[in-house]
Amino acid sequence: MNKKTSRTKLENKKRKVLLYIFILTTLTALILISKELRTVIDHQKNSFFSIFEKTNTKEYIPPQSSDSIDLTHLYSPYSALVELSTNQTLAQNKSQSKIYPASLTKIMTAIIAIENIENLTEEMLLTNKHFETLYERDASMAGFLPGEKVTMKDLLYGTLLPSGAECCLALADQIAMSESKFVNLMNSKAKELGMNNTLFCNSTGLHNANHYSTVEDMAKLLQYALKNKEFRTIFTSRQYSIFATNLHPEGLTFNSTMFSSMNDTKVVGGNIIGGKTGYTDEAGLCLASLAQINGKEYIFVSAKAKGDHQTQPYHILDANNVYNQVGSLNVLNDSNLK
């Protein structure tokens, strides 16, 4: 083999090596570019879905120039917002339409009990009749047991915070000797308050086709109940612990069903300071709440939001939305005055 042939073969080999290096470099660059592109695409996709999710959960967007509260884009199809000091309805959506109030009923149960109990430290014995039907219907309970001695005050906290149905039946028995007679007191009070589209059939809010109300009527009830110091104290409590009883030697601690479902009580210009939740399959998620914003108090009542105890608390998301609107409008109006 001559030198010329040998050199040619060597040059061909170098070309192949260079070609391989070029191909390898190009493939590596393409892989890196592909990874970067995929990262960008994933980021854009996540951003898109993040925006979608926020929109889908009806995240609040502060108003820019509106002078009214929008209740038409909530999870709850029935709602009413009232300024407490003036009793002025600031916004409403289907507020006079029939709803099932579920455990919002317990607001009436509690205020009737408070107005008819002379001594909150008085004790009573809970019996099997306060529990049997509730177990069958899977009602929400405070945690008391048959044979337990409890005070009237403990029963009131058990009614409003953990939404204990056994507490309602016990209070009804103690005050009126039976639930049916207690319900008569509830309906008399409803008539007195001008709750003309309300009829109570029980003290617990367990579903009954003839047990109904409206968010307007429930707002009237809450307005009235909050004037009572004892009711307001319980309604705005996050937690309450009872002393030792004969069946709970270490006592019991009750947590508010509303506050337990809230990540943050803050809203624009203030805080949500109290509330009572409600739920049955027929009633949906319901809420009656109280907020203090820029020195004023507001109540917001909503009903029939889709969902249940396992889903997002859509009724609470609605309350946050509405109270944020109130706070933002106050800020907007103040800036316009300046």
- Residue pLDDT, tens place only, 114-134: 999 999 999 999 999 999 989
CA atoms of 220 and 173, how far apart (whole Å): 26
Q: What's the distance, CA 238 to chain centroid? A: 14
Q: What are the beta bridge partners of residue 83? A: 88, 298
Signed CA dihedral, 152, 154, 160, 163: sign only: negative
Calculate mean pLDDT across residues 298-309: 96
CA atoms of 318 and 273, how far apart (whole Å): 15
Span 55-70, pLDDT tens digits: 344 544 444 444 689 9
CATH topology of domain 78-337: Beta-lactamase (3.40.710)
Q: What is the dihedral of CA 84, 308, 252, 204, to 10 degrees?
A: 70
Span 146-180, pLDDT tens digits: 999 999 999 999 999 999 999 999 999 999 999 99
Residue 145 has pLDDT above 50, yes or no: yes
CB atoms within 10 A of CB 120: 14
Residue 239 has pLDDT above 80, yes or no: yes
CB 251 within 8 A of CB 328: no
| Amino acid present at 45 | K
Q: Supply the pLDDT for residue 332.
A: 63
Pair of tokens at residue 53: 């999710």
CB atoms within 10 A of CB 32: 10
Q: What percent of the chain has pLDDT over 90?
A: 75
Number of H helices, E strands in the chain: 9, 10
Average pLDDT, the chain: 87
| Pairwise pLDDT comparison (79 vs 18), residue with the higher score | 79
- 48-62, 123-137, 276-290, range with the lowest pLDDT: 48-62
In the chain, domain spans: 78-337
Phi, psi of 136 (to 5 degrees): -60, -35
CA atoms of 256 and 272, how far apart (whole Å): 13
Pair of tokens at residue 323: 């109270």
